[in-house]
Chain A
Amino acid sequence: MTKLLFNFLIFPGFLFTVVFGLAANWIDRKVTARIQWRVGPPWYQPLIDLVKLSIKEITIPRTASKELFLLSPMIGLSAATLVSTLVWLPNIDRVSTGFSGDIIVIVYLLTLPAIAVILGASASGNPLASLGASREIKMVIAYELPFIISLVVPVIKSHGVLKLSDIINYQAAHGSFVASLSGMIAFIVMIFCMQAKLGLVPFDASEAETEIMGGVLIEYSGMLLAIFKLTKAMLMVALPLFLITLFWQGFNFLSIWKYVILLVIIILIRNTNPRVRIDQAVGFFWGKMTLLAILAVLLAIKGM
């Protein structure tokens, strides 16, 4: 029990992922700044941003449904914590951790932060937030389809294993899935879905500062906003890690370069694209991405 709590709260769950996530967040901001010919913040900037936010006053709008408004950041944060624990553990101990079907649990938990954002936005009673929430719903519906279809590829390739640690072990024995054609296609599809799950440009229509002023998060302030930011920082670790685990032989601290590569891809996509309209995003995921994912599955069945 203590070990579980330790895993969940300190290592590799909450605390560790937060530290890792804030570092990733800093890299993101620094690289973005350098691309844009700015200087960029010092390494501790994400941390002091969070500290500053958490000592600010929390304003609850009069129109808000109070309980849900306060609860939804917690839902998002706890889901992100759980998911990062579940993804980290098989990578640290490949034998005794995880359970059969943990991939499915992770997929469910990964949607929860988005659901939390939708709930919170709808609870705030702000028209811009509800607009953002409706965009977020469309976004979730859009990217989940190719995400789940391409998730089938590693399962097929490892002959029906639904356990993360077994997938890592299978890859350790037979080579990374990403080296095969189907694995590569599914991996690329997953990267785009990850970009959308992280709510980064070009798929940040639900926040779209210049259109709907932060959209879903418009009414959040203080600690609650800090929690949403924290959730996002944690997902910035958990999602690339999940991808590496599924397709790229898993992760240990010697292979941190895999994570850095994924992070750089995320940052590059985010800095070389304008925001797409929500209908264009849905078209992109349900069209090209879903077709590619289906193709990857067919190829995987063929054994390619």
Chain B
Amino acid sequence: MAHKIIPIGPYHPLQEEPEFFKLHVDGETVVDIDIELGYNHRLIEKIAESKNFDQVAFLVERICGICSTSHPFAYVNAIDDLIGVQAPERALYIRTIIGELERIHSHFLWLGLAGHFLGYNTVWMWAWRYREPVLDIFERVAGNRQNYAMMKPGGVRRDMFEEDFSWIKKTLKDLIPKVDMFKGAVMDDPVIHARTEGVGVLTREDVHQYSVIGPTARASGVAKDIRKDDPYAAYDKVEWKVITYEGGDVYSKAVVRILELYESINIILQCLDKMPKGPIDSGIKDIPPGEGIGRHEAPRGEVIHYVMSDGGNSPSRHKIRAPSYMNIASNKKAVIGETISDAAIILAAVDPCYCCTERMAVVDYKTGKKLMDGQDLIRLSQEKTERLRGRHNMPPLH
């Protein structure tokens, strides 16, 4: 029997991002899924090669609006690794605080969206309301609600003021009862249980096979967390624990994220107490030739930045791997066999972020053979630039 195809995307009210899931359905049951990404390739890695090392931090900040400090965080880790320099202690604490604040606001955002996908718009609005105080903290600390521009190779760009600390602590402590409320709303609501429990299960084996990371993996009982596994910044200087939950279903993913909110608040409070006085920047002058790898546990999982320098002013190669790139493929395991109603929430449960994830290659549709890879595409774009320059009577670049 020919299966009907229910499209989710490329433009769909489910997730207002360019993604395309073709659900092959038999009645209401999903029998197969095609995952198609690549509608919005922005050439970030290529652009990075034309910016200097300081500017790249701003560039990668704009990869994603939600985890807008995760990419700079991983990037500065990579540069620090490349040079072999350790940022000053105070800078490490500030980096940690910014990273954890971002996790709080991102998890709240996901919680709201998950509610929306389930048709529970009240949860959506409430979660986003309680996300506001976190953004207020960002505004006070960094001057911006998003795109904080705090990360800088060898340190942080601006200091935090001691006089803000008590207000930040109070705001965060006020948040704890709100998190309690959401925990109650998710864990005690029979209808939410009915909609999310046993839905879209990823087993431990699936997690290992698909290399799933972040809260999606931790919800299957796999304690993967780069903050613990390979500590950086101030994560080894504070007490906290990796949240895991057995089950692997949508419910577990929600619970893991809610419990992580407590841990993040806990980490920030400790950092504020322990933060030493001192410089915030180690004053890097030159970047020597070499390679560096930086990792950061973003709200969605581990981000990896690889930076290669030839001793010049800008990276000669910059490679980014975002967490959703690993997580989205696991939908193939989680969605098949479920109903269309559940597919919506399962697809959303990995907290996908497509703008970080876009990759591009030209493939022959029939044979599946790769016709052009990254190098070819770069060559094409260079040729086009040359053509355009020629039309405007500008001298060729190469």
Contacts and interface: CB of A to CB of B under 8 A. Distances in A.
A202 B116 CA distance: 12
Contact of B122 (A135, A212, A271): A271
A208 B341 contact: yes
A272 B192 CA distance: 11
Contacts of B340: 131, 211-212
Interface residues of B, number: 33
A277 B14 contact: no
Given A127-B6, A213-B12, A274-B192, A204 B122 contact: no
A277 B342 contact: yes
Contact of B341 (A128, A271, A278): A278
B4 interface: yes
A202 B6 contact: no
A273 B339 CA distance: 20
Contacts of A278: 28, 339, 341
B344 interface: yes
B120 A274 contact: yes
Given A205-B341, A275-B120, A277-B342, A211 B125 contact: no
Contacts of A128: 6
Interface stretch (A13-21, A30-38, A149-157, A296-304): A30-38
Dominant secondary structure at the B interface: helix
B119 interface: yes
Contacts, number: 84
B191 A273 contact: yes
Contacts of B342: 277
Contacts of A35: 122
A49 interface: no
Given A204-B119, A210-B116, A277-B195, A36 B341 contact: no
Interface in B1-44: 4-6, 12-14, 25, 27-28
A210 B13 contact: yes
Interface in A202-230: 202, 204-205, 208-213
Contacts of A201: 119-121
B119 A208 contact: yes
A176 B343 CA distance: 46
Given A276-B191, A278-B28, A211 B120 contact: no
6 contacts: A36-B122, A201-B120, A210-B14, A211-B340, A211-B343, A274-B195
